A and B are shown apart, each in its own frame.
Chain A
Protein backbone atom coordinates (compact mmCIF):
# COMPACT_ATOMS: atom_id res chain seq x y z
CA UNK A 1 0.00 0.00 0.00
CA UNK A 2 2.67 2.49 -0.99
CA UNK A 3 0.14 5.12 -2.08
CA UNK A 4 -1.07 5.43 1.48
CA UNK A 5 2.28 5.68 3.19
CA UNK A 6 3.26 9.03 1.74
CA UNK A 7 0.56 11.36 2.87
CA UNK A 8 0.53 15.00 3.71
CA UNK A 9 -2.07 17.70 3.34
CA UNK A 10 -0.90 18.66 -0.15
CA UNK A 11 -1.73 15.35 -1.80
CA UNK A 12 -4.89 14.35 0.05
CA UNK A 13 -6.90 14.78 -3.11
CA UNK A 14 -5.07 11.77 -4.49
CA UNK A 15 -6.73 9.45 -2.00
CA UNK A 16 -5.25 7.12 0.57
CA UNK A 17 -6.89 8.97 3.45
CA UNK A 18 -9.79 7.41 5.30
CA UNK A 19 -11.64 10.30 6.97
CA UNK A 20 -14.34 8.11 8.50
CA UNK A 21 -11.75 5.76 10.04
CA UNK A 22 -13.29 2.71 8.47
CA UNK A 23 -12.03 0.74 5.51
CA UNK A 24 -13.42 1.18 2.02
CA UNK A 25 -15.55 -1.95 1.99
CA UNK A 26 -17.28 -1.18 5.26
CA UNK A 27 -18.01 2.42 4.27
CA UNK A 28 -19.51 1.24 0.97
CA UNK A 29 -21.64 -1.27 2.86
CA UNK A 30 -23.00 1.63 4.94
CA UNK A 31 -23.74 3.63 1.77
CA UNK A 32 -25.56 0.67 0.29
CA UNK A 33 -27.56 0.18 3.49
CA UNK A 34 -28.66 3.84 3.51
CA UNK A 35 -30.03 3.53 -0.02
CA UNK A 36 -31.65 0.19 0.77
CA UNK A 37 -33.18 1.63 3.93
CA UNK A 38 -34.73 4.42 1.87
CA UNK A 39 -36.20 1.85 -0.53
CA UNK A 40 -37.87 0.01 2.34
CA UNK A 41 -38.99 3.32 3.85
CA UNK A 42 -40.67 4.18 0.57
CA UNK A 43 -42.49 0.82 0.54
CA UNK A 44 -43.71 1.18 4.10
CA UNK A 45 -44.75 4.80 3.67
CA UNK A 46 -46.63 3.89 0.47
CA UNK A 47 -48.32 1.14 2.48
CA UNK A 48 -49.27 3.68 5.14
CA UNK A 49 -50.66 6.03 2.51
CA UNK A 50 -52.91 3.38 0.95
CA UNK A 51 -53.98 2.13 4.33
CA UNK A 52 -54.98 5.59 5.44
CA UNK A 53 -56.78 6.05 2.11
CA UNK A 54 -58.74 2.79 2.50
CA UNK A 55 -59.40 3.33 6.21
CA UNK A 56 -62.40 1.27 7.26
CA UNK A 57 -62.18 -1.53 4.69
CA UNK A 58 -58.47 -2.25 5.11
CA UNK A 59 -58.12 -5.65 6.81
CA UNK A 60 -56.30 -5.91 10.12
CA UNK A 61 -53.32 -8.22 9.76
CA UNK A 62 -54.17 -9.90 13.05
CA UNK A 63 -57.44 -11.09 11.50
CA UNK A 64 -55.64 -12.40 8.44
CA UNK A 65 -52.57 -14.16 9.83
CA UNK A 66 -54.03 -16.18 12.68
CA UNK A 67 -52.63 -19.64 12.06
CA UNK A 68 -49.98 -21.42 14.06
CA UNK A 69 -48.50 -24.81 13.10
CA UNK A 70 -50.02 -27.80 14.95
CA UNK A 71 -52.52 -25.57 16.77
CA UNK A 72 -56.19 -25.13 15.92
CA UNK A 73 -58.18 -21.94 16.21
CA UNK A 74 -57.13 -18.32 16.00
CA UNK A 75 -53.77 -17.23 17.36
CA UNK A 76 -53.19 -13.70 16.15
CA UNK A 77 -49.60 -12.41 16.18
CA UNK A 78 -48.08 -15.56 17.72
CA UNK A 79 -46.58 -16.93 14.54
CA UNK A 80 -45.09 -13.64 13.41
CA UNK A 81 -43.75 -13.12 16.95
CA UNK A 82 -41.95 -16.45 16.60
CA UNK A 83 -40.49 -15.32 13.26
CA UNK A 84 -39.32 -12.10 14.91
CA UNK A 85 -37.68 -14.08 17.71
CA UNK A 86 -35.86 -16.29 15.19
CA UNK A 87 -34.53 -13.24 13.35
CA UNK A 88 -33.44 -11.46 16.56
CA UNK A 89 -31.66 -14.63 17.71
CA UNK A 90 -29.87 -14.94 14.37
CA UNK A 91 -28.83 -11.30 14.78
CA UNK A 92 -27.29 -12.17 18.15
CA UNK A 93 -25.38 -15.12 16.72
CA UNK A 94 -24.18 -12.87 13.88
CA UNK A 95 -22.86 -10.20 16.24
CA UNK A 96 -21.15 -12.93 18.28
CA UNK A 97 -19.48 -14.17 15.07
CA UNK A 98 -18.25 -10.62 14.43
CA UNK A 99 -16.96 -10.42 18.01
CA UNK A 100 -15.04 -13.71 17.58
CA UNK A 101 -13.63 -12.32 14.34
CA UNK A 102 -12.31 -9.27 16.17
CA UNK A 103 -10.26 -11.67 18.32
CA UNK A 104 -9.17 -13.64 15.20
CA UNK A 105 -10.81 -16.69 16.79
CA UNK A 106 -11.69 -18.82 13.79
CA UNK A 107 -13.55 -21.61 15.62
CA UNK A 108 -15.90 -19.08 17.24
CA UNK A 109 -16.62 -17.34 13.93
CA UNK A 110 -17.44 -20.67 12.31
CA UNK A 111 -19.77 -21.77 15.08
CA UNK A 112 -21.77 -18.52 15.31
CA UNK A 113 -21.90 -17.99 11.56
CA UNK A 114 -23.25 -21.52 11.13
CA UNK A 115 -26.02 -20.82 13.67
CA UNK A 116 -26.83 -17.54 11.87
CA UNK A 117 -27.29 -19.41 8.59
CA UNK A 118 -29.60 -21.92 10.30
CA UNK A 119 -31.64 -19.04 11.79
CA UNK A 120 -31.97 -17.43 8.36
CA UNK A 121 -33.15 -20.69 6.82
CA UNK A 122 -35.75 -21.21 9.58
CA UNK A 123 -37.04 -17.68 8.95
CA UNK A 124 -37.32 -18.30 5.20
CA UNK A 125 -39.19 -21.55 5.84
CA UNK A 126 -41.61 -19.77 8.20
CA UNK A 127 -42.24 -17.11 5.61
CA UNK A 128 -42.99 -19.73 2.95
CA UNK A 129 -45.49 -21.34 5.33
CA UNK A 130 -47.21 -18.03 5.94
CA UNK A 131 -47.37 -17.17 2.26
CA UNK A 132 -48.89 -20.55 1.53
CA UNK A 133 -51.63 -19.94 4.11
CA UNK A 134 -52.35 -16.47 2.79
CA UNK A 135 -52.54 -17.72 -0.81
CA UNK A 136 -54.89 -20.61 0.03
CA UNK A 137 -57.08 -18.50 2.31
CA UNK A 138 -59.90 -19.53 4.61
CA UNK A 139 -62.49 -22.27 4.26
CA UNK A 140 -65.36 -19.75 3.98
CA UNK A 141 -63.73 -17.38 1.51
CA UNK A 142 -65.46 -14.13 0.57
CA UNK A 143 -67.64 -12.61 -2.13
CA UNK A 144 -66.17 -10.44 -4.85
CA UNK A 145 -68.97 -8.05 -5.75
CA UNK A 146 -69.94 -7.60 -9.37
CA UNK A 147 -70.75 -4.36 -11.11
CA UNK A 148 -74.13 -3.19 -9.89
CA UNK A 149 -76.29 -0.86 -7.86
CA UNK A 150 -78.06 -2.14 -4.75
CA UNK A 151 -80.38 -0.79 -2.11
CA UNK A 152 -79.04 -1.10 1.43
CA UNK A 153 -81.40 -1.89 4.35
CA UNK A 154 -81.31 1.76 5.43
CA UNK A 155 -82.61 2.81 2.02
CA UNK A 156 -79.36 4.21 0.65
CA UNK A 157 -78.19 3.11 -2.79
CA UNK A 158 -74.62 1.87 -3.22
CA UNK A 159 -72.64 1.09 -6.33
CA UNK A 160 -70.18 -1.81 -6.23
CA UNK A 161 -67.49 -2.95 -8.59
CA UNK A 162 -64.97 -5.57 -7.59
CA UNK A 163 -64.90 -4.77 -3.86
CA UNK A 164 -64.85 -7.60 -1.36
CA UNK A 165 -67.78 -8.42 0.94
CA UNK A 166 -67.55 -10.91 3.79
CA UNK A 167 -70.10 -13.62 4.59
CA UNK A 168 -72.38 -12.78 7.50
CA UNK A 169 -73.30 -16.37 8.41
CA UNK A 170 -72.29 -19.98 7.75
CA UNK A 171 -75.17 -20.56 5.32
CA UNK A 172 -73.89 -17.69 3.16
CA UNK A 173 -77.28 -15.95 2.97
CA UNK A 174 -76.16 -12.79 4.76
CA UNK A 175 -73.55 -10.40 3.38
CA UNK A 176 -71.41 -7.87 5.23
CA UNK A 177 -70.88 -5.10 2.70
CA UNK A 178 -67.58 -3.17 2.48
CA UNK A 179 -69.32 0.00 3.72
CA UNK A 180 -69.48 0.96 7.33
CA UNK A 181 -72.18 2.69 9.33
CA UNK A 182 -71.21 3.58 12.92
CA UNK A 183 -68.03 1.53 12.54
CA UNK A 184 -69.89 -1.66 11.63
CA UNK A 185 -70.18 -3.19 8.15
CA UNK A 186 -73.63 -2.88 6.60
CA UNK A 187 -75.41 -6.24 6.68
CA UNK A 188 -77.69 -7.29 3.80
CA UNK A 189 -80.14 -10.22 3.95
CA UNK A 190 -83.02 -11.64 1.94
CA UNK A 191 -83.85 -10.95 -1.70
CA UNK A 192 -81.35 -8.11 -2.12
CA UNK A 193 -78.60 -10.40 -0.79
CA UNK A 194 -79.57 -13.09 -3.33
CA UNK A 195 -79.30 -10.49 -6.08
CA UNK A 196 -75.83 -9.44 -4.89
CA UNK A 197 -74.64 -13.06 -4.60
CA UNK A 198 -75.89 -13.94 -8.09
CA UNK A 199 -73.95 -11.01 -9.51
CA UNK A 200 -70.76 -11.68 -7.52
CA UNK A 201 -68.03 -14.33 -7.53
CA UNK A 202 -67.03 -16.34 -4.43
CA UNK A 203 -63.26 -16.22 -3.95
CA UNK A 204 -60.78 -17.99 -1.69
CA UNK A 205 -57.34 -16.86 -0.63
CA UNK A 206 -55.17 -14.20 -2.14
CA UNK A 207 -53.18 -13.44 -5.24
CA UNK A 208 -52.03 -10.27 -6.97
CA UNK A 209 -55.43 -9.67 -8.61
CA UNK A 210 -57.81 -10.23 -5.70
CA UNK A 211 -57.89 -11.35 -2.10
CA UNK A 212 -60.69 -12.39 0.17
CA UNK A 213 -59.61 -10.12 3.03
CA UNK A 214 -60.23 -6.75 1.41
CA UNK A 215 -58.65 -4.35 -1.06
CA UNK A 216 -56.43 -5.98 -3.69
CA UNK A 217 -53.66 -3.62 -2.62
CA UNK A 218 -53.47 -5.31 0.78
CA UNK A 219 -52.35 -8.53 -0.86
CA UNK A 220 -50.05 -6.68 -3.26
CA UNK A 221 -48.31 -4.86 -0.43
CA UNK A 222 -48.05 -8.02 1.62
CA UNK A 223 -46.45 -9.99 -1.21
CA UNK A 224 -44.22 -7.13 -2.24
CA UNK A 225 -42.91 -5.96 1.13
CA UNK A 226 -42.47 -9.35 2.80
CA UNK A 227 -41.24 -10.75 -0.52
CA UNK A 228 -38.64 -8.04 -0.91
CA UNK A 229 -37.56 -8.54 2.68
CA UNK A 230 -37.47 -12.31 2.16
CA UNK A 231 -35.25 -11.79 -0.88
CA UNK A 232 -32.90 -9.83 1.36
CA UNK A 233 -32.89 -12.66 3.90
CA UNK A 234 -32.13 -15.14 1.10
CA UNK A 235 -29.22 -13.03 -0.19
CA UNK A 236 -28.02 -12.65 3.41
CA UNK A 237 -28.03 -16.42 3.88
CA UNK A 238 -26.10 -16.86 0.62
CA UNK A 239 -23.54 -14.19 1.62
CA UNK A 240 -23.15 -15.78 5.06
CA UNK A 241 -22.66 -19.16 3.43
CA UNK A 242 -19.93 -17.80 1.13
CA UNK A 243 -18.17 -16.14 4.08
CA UNK A 244 -18.59 -19.33 6.13
CA UNK A 245 -16.79 -21.32 3.41
CA UNK A 246 -14.05 -18.66 3.23
CA UNK A 247 -13.63 -18.77 7.03
CA UNK A 248 -13.42 -22.56 6.94
CA UNK A 249 -10.68 -22.38 4.32
CA UNK A 250 -8.70 -19.92 6.45
CA UNK A 251 -8.87 -17.07 3.93
CA UNK A 252 -9.15 -14.41 6.64
CA UNK A 253 -6.36 -15.88 8.77
CA UNK A 254 -4.07 -15.37 5.77
CA UNK A 255 -5.44 -11.87 5.24
CA UNK A 256 -4.88 -10.99 8.90
CA UNK A 257 -8.38 -9.68 9.75
CA UNK A 258 -11.98 -10.81 9.78
CA UNK A 259 -13.52 -7.59 8.50
CA UNK A 260 -15.50 -9.47 5.85
CA UNK A 261 -17.53 -11.08 8.65
CA UNK A 262 -18.26 -7.58 9.97
CA UNK A 263 -19.44 -6.41 6.54
CA UNK A 264 -21.87 -9.27 5.98
CA UNK A 265 -22.83 -8.79 9.64
CA UNK A 266 -23.88 -5.22 8.90
CA UNK A 267 -26.07 -6.47 6.07
CA UNK A 268 -27.58 -9.17 8.26
CA UNK A 269 -28.43 -6.73 11.07
CA UNK A 270 -30.00 -4.45 8.50
CA UNK A 271 -32.30 -7.28 7.41
CA UNK A 272 -33.28 -7.72 11.06
CA UNK A 273 -33.82 -3.97 11.40
CA UNK A 274 -36.17 -3.92 8.40
CA UNK A 275 -38.14 -6.79 9.87
CA UNK A 276 -38.59 -4.83 13.12
CA UNK A 277 -40.34 -2.12 11.10
CA UNK A 278 -42.32 -4.53 8.91
CA UNK A 279 -43.48 -6.31 12.08
CA UNK A 280 -44.76 -3.07 13.58
CA UNK A 281 -46.34 -1.45 10.55
CA UNK A 282 -47.68 -4.52 8.81
CA UNK A 283 -48.67 -6.82 11.64
CA UNK A 284 -49.14 -4.75 14.79
CA UNK A 285 -50.76 -1.51 13.70
Chain B
Protein backbone atom coordinates (compact mmCIF):
# COMPACT_ATOMS: atom_id res chain seq x y z
CA UNK B 1 0.00 0.00 0.00
CA UNK B 2 1.36 3.44 -0.80
CA UNK B 3 1.06 6.39 1.49
CA UNK B 4 -1.56 8.17 -0.58
CA UNK B 5 -4.80 7.53 1.16
CA UNK B 6 -7.86 8.95 2.72
CA UNK B 7 -7.49 8.78 6.53
CA UNK B 8 -10.81 6.94 6.71
CA UNK B 9 -9.32 4.05 4.75
CA UNK B 10 -7.87 2.54 7.89
CA UNK B 11 -11.24 1.82 9.42
CA UNK B 12 -11.29 -1.98 9.69
CA UNK B 13 -13.86 -3.88 7.66
CA UNK B 14 -14.28 -7.51 6.70
CA UNK B 15 -16.50 -9.69 4.55
CA UNK B 16 -19.34 -12.01 5.58
CA UNK B 17 -17.13 -15.09 5.14
CA UNK B 18 -14.30 -13.62 7.22
CA UNK B 19 -16.90 -12.72 9.85
CA UNK B 20 -17.81 -16.37 10.40
CA UNK B 21 -14.22 -17.21 11.26
CA UNK B 22 -13.81 -14.14 13.49
CA UNK B 23 -16.96 -14.98 15.45
CA UNK B 24 -15.62 -18.47 15.99
CA UNK B 25 -12.42 -17.02 17.50
CA UNK B 26 -14.46 -14.66 19.69
CA UNK B 27 -16.42 -17.54 21.24
CA UNK B 28 -13.30 -19.65 21.59
CA UNK B 29 -11.67 -16.85 23.60
CA UNK B 30 -14.81 -16.56 25.71
CA UNK B 31 -14.60 -20.25 26.68
CA UNK B 32 -10.91 -19.84 27.54
CA UNK B 33 -11.66 -16.83 29.77
CA UNK B 34 -14.55 -18.65 31.43
CA UNK B 35 -12.46 -21.80 31.97
CA UNK B 36 -9.53 -19.90 33.46
CA UNK B 37 -11.83 -17.91 35.77
CA UNK B 38 -13.52 -21.13 36.93
CA UNK B 39 -10.13 -22.65 37.75
CA UNK B 40 -9.21 -19.53 39.72
CA UNK B 41 -12.44 -19.53 41.71
CA UNK B 42 -12.26 -23.27 42.43
CA UNK B 43 -8.65 -22.93 43.53
CA UNK B 44 -9.53 -19.93 45.71
CA UNK B 45 -12.32 -21.79 47.49
CA UNK B 46 -10.79 -25.27 47.79
CA UNK B 47 -7.01 -24.89 47.95
CA UNK B 48 -6.95 -25.54 51.71
CA UNK B 49 -9.04 -28.70 51.32
CA UNK B 50 -6.75 -29.84 48.54
CA UNK B 51 -3.72 -29.13 50.71
CA UNK B 52 -1.93 -26.87 48.25
CA UNK B 53 0.62 -24.40 49.57
CA UNK B 54 -0.66 -20.82 49.28
CA UNK B 55 2.50 -19.51 47.65
CA UNK B 56 1.97 -21.96 44.77
CA UNK B 57 -1.68 -20.90 44.57
CA UNK B 58 -0.63 -17.26 44.49
CA UNK B 59 1.80 -17.82 41.63
CA UNK B 60 -0.85 -19.79 39.73
CA UNK B 61 -3.33 -16.92 40.16
CA UNK B 62 -0.86 -14.41 38.76
CA UNK B 63 0.06 -16.60 35.78
CA UNK B 64 -3.62 -17.30 35.00
CA UNK B 65 -4.41 -13.58 35.26
CA UNK B 66 -1.68 -12.79 32.74
CA UNK B 67 -3.11 -15.49 30.44
CA UNK B 68 -6.53 -13.85 30.62
CA UNK B 69 -5.04 -10.40 30.07
CA UNK B 70 -3.19 -11.68 26.99
CA UNK B 71 -6.38 -13.02 25.40
CA UNK B 72 -8.39 -9.88 26.16
CA UNK B 73 -5.74 -7.54 24.76
CA UNK B 74 -4.66 -9.69 21.81
CA UNK B 75 -8.05 -10.86 20.55
CA UNK B 76 -10.81 -8.69 22.01
CA UNK B 77 -8.84 -5.46 21.75
CA UNK B 78 -7.48 -6.76 18.44
CA UNK B 79 -3.89 -5.74 19.24
CA UNK B 80 -2.46 -9.00 17.88
CA UNK B 81 -3.71 -8.07 14.42
CA UNK B 82 -2.54 -4.44 14.44
CA UNK B 83 0.56 -2.90 12.92
CA UNK B 84 3.69 -4.16 14.66
CA UNK B 85 4.78 -0.63 15.65
CA UNK B 86 1.43 -0.03 17.31
CA UNK B 87 1.91 -3.23 19.31
CA UNK B 88 5.32 -2.07 20.52
CA UNK B 89 4.03 1.42 21.20
CA UNK B 90 1.36 0.04 23.54
CA UNK B 91 3.22 -2.79 25.23
CA UNK B 92 6.78 -1.54 25.80
CA UNK B 93 6.15 1.77 27.65
CA UNK B 94 3.46 0.18 29.77
CA UNK B 95 5.46 -2.93 30.62
CA UNK B 96 8.56 -0.91 31.46
CA UNK B 97 6.81 1.49 33.83
CA UNK B 98 4.61 -1.17 35.44
CA UNK B 99 7.46 -3.60 36.15
CA UNK B 100 9.68 -0.79 37.42
CA UNK B 101 7.00 0.41 39.85
CA UNK B 102 6.22 -3.13 40.96
CA UNK B 103 9.84 -3.97 41.75
CA UNK B 104 10.44 -0.67 43.57
CA UNK B 105 7.39 -0.74 45.79
CA UNK B 106 7.34 -4.43 46.64
CA UNK B 107 11.01 -4.29 47.61
CA UNK B 108 10.27 -1.25 49.75
CA UNK B 109 7.23 -2.98 51.31
CA UNK B 110 9.35 -5.92 52.47
CA UNK B 111 12.00 -3.60 53.81
CA UNK B 112 9.48 -1.52 55.79
CA UNK B 113 8.06 -4.66 57.35
CA UNK B 114 11.51 -5.77 58.51
CA UNK B 115 12.13 -2.32 59.91
CA UNK B 116 8.91 -2.47 61.95
CA UNK B 117 9.91 -5.86 63.37
CA UNK B 118 13.36 -4.53 64.15
CA UNK B 119 12.13 -1.41 65.94
CA UNK B 120 9.27 -2.84 67.99
Contact = CB atoms under 8 A, between A and B. Distances in A.
18 contacts: A6-B4, A7-B4, A20-B89, A38-B97, A41-B101, A45-B98, A48-B102, A50-B109, A53-B109, A96-B26, A99-B23, A102-B14, A103-B16, A103-B19, A256-B8, A257-B11, A269-B73, A279-B65
Contacts of B75: 95
Interface of B: 3-8, 10-16, 19, 22-23, 26-27, 30, 33-34, 37, 40-41, 44-45, 58, 61-62, 64-65, 68-69, 72-73, 75-78, 82-83, 85-86, 89-90, 93-94, 97-98, 101-102, 105-106, 108-110, 112-113, 116
Given A103-B19, A280-B40, A5 B7 contact: no
Interface residues of A, number: 67
Contact of A34 (B12, B37, B93): B93
A83 to B, nearest CB: 11
Nearest to B97: A38
Contact of B37 (A5, A85, A259): A85
Interface in A61-91: 62, 76-78, 81, 84-85, 88-89, 91
A266 B77 contact: yes
B106 A48 contact: yes
Given A34-B93, A55-B113, A92 B30 contact: yes
Nearest to B37: A84
A126 interface: no
Contacts of B72: 91, 269, 272-273, 276
B12 to A, nearest CB: 6
Interface in A84-136: 84-85, 88-89, 91-92, 94-96, 99, 102-104
A17 interface: yes
Given A5-B6, A21-B10, A95-B76, 12 more contacts: A4-B7, A24-B7, A38-B94, A38-B98, A48-B106, A102-B22, A103-B16, A256-B11, A257-B11, A262-B78, A279-B40, A284-B61
Nearest to A258: B11
Contact of A7 (B3, B10, B27): B3
Interface in A182-239: none
B27 A92 contact: yes
B108 A76 contact: no
